[in-house]
Amino acid sequence: MSLTLGGGPLASDAPTTVNYTIDSPSRALYMHQFPRRVRAEVGGLTVLDSDRGVLLHESGLLPAFYVPMEDIGQRYLVPSDRTTHCPFKGDASYWDLVVGDWTAHNAVWAYPAPTPEATWLHGLASMYWNAAEGWFDEEEQVYGHLRDPFHRVDARRSSMLVRISFGAQVIALTGAAMVLSETGLPNRYYVPFNDVHRDLLVPSRTRTYCPYKGRAAYWNLRIGDTEIADVGWSLPEPLKDGRDVRDHICFRHDELTMTLEKD
């Protein structure tokens, strides 16, 4: 993600504060070895199993995971009529993934005759993430997508006085926030729940998942007869990169105001 988005060197908004130039098309490609075994399962059956996978970084896109075609269960693949063309990679062929009653249409794609600039894609195939029921990085189940080795998450204690308001109503006020820096994203301030007016928050049904921080639970704001959905999120059972902001909430909504003051 850091290479292809958020001002990274292969992003469409690549930085100008460099002493080099990259002679590349509007979409640059960079492929490298993924260091661990990856498996995908459907109904308890393994449909992909590879310790020879690679990550393909492409400008403006999340990295895509490719494996040698033979590392995908051939008995589960049915050729599809779908084809697509990429000017940078070539013409893609597709296969349906069929496992018993489970069918994921156009789940797998490959470039049988890639462009001369991407010949190293020959013999490799990729599978859409939602085509499988579960993905595993070694023996750890992962969600959303594989972790990008160029993506980083850091959380640090902040001495800034953080105030979150809705109009004249102060929702949170703390001098003990955690500032979380994540590659390609603006800093997020996480406020301890002890410094929040919890009586104004109502649990939301919204859930999202970050492969780096874990599953996020969202909160609505209720003041009198006014309720605003999903004004913030917390990480009740964070992954390693989110553990420092457990028992904190991050507010982000157009109708809220956050002010920062130096201690």
| Confidence label for 146 from pLDDT (cuts 50, 70 and 90) | very high
For the cut 70, the answer to whether the pLDDT of residue 201 exceeds it is yes
Q: Both tokens of residue 61?
A: 């896109």
- DSSP 8-state secondary structure symbol assigned to residue 154: E
Domain limits for position 222: 153-261
Q: Both tokens of residue 194?
A: 């002890």
CA distance 172 to 160: 13
CA distance 253 to 1: 24
For the cut 90, the answer to whether the pLDDT of residue 7 exceeds it is no
Residue where a domain terminates, one of 93, 108, 142:
142
CA distance 211 to 136: 12
Same domain, 233 and 132: no
pLDDT for the residue 73: 97
Do the beta carbons of residue 111 and residue 89 sit within 8 Å? Answer: yes
Mean pLDDT score, 3-16: 80
Beta pairing partners, 68: 124
Torsion angle, alpha carbons of 250, 2, 71, 46, to 10 = 0
For the cut 70, the answer to whether the pLDDT of residue 24 exceeds it is no
Same domain, 132 and 181: no
Same domain, 73 and 169: no
Residue where a domain terminates, one of 119, 142, 165:
142
pLDDT for the residue 25: 67
Asked if residue 182 belongs to a domain, the reply is yes
Closest by CA to 151, choosing from 37, 239, 21, is: 239
pLDDT for the residue 180: 97
The CATH number for 170's domain is 2.170.150.40
| Confidence label for 53 from pLDDT (cuts 50, 70 and 90) | very high
pLDDT for the residue 22: 75
Asked if residue 36 belongs to a domain, the reply is yes
Do the beta carbons of residue 117 and residue 88 sit within 8 Å? Answer: yes
Same domain, 120 and 159: no
Phi, psi of 176 (to 5 degrees): -125, 35
Please provide the average confidence, as pLDDT, over all residues in the chain.
94
Number of other CB atoms surrounding residue 207 within 10 Å: 10
Beta pairing partners, 109: 94, 126
Q: Count of domains in the chain?
A: 2
Asked if residue 43 belongs to a domain, the reply is yes
Same domain, 161 and 78: no
Do the beta carbons of residue 24 and residue 3 sit within 8 Å? Answer: no
Asked if residue 10 belongs to a domain, the reply is no
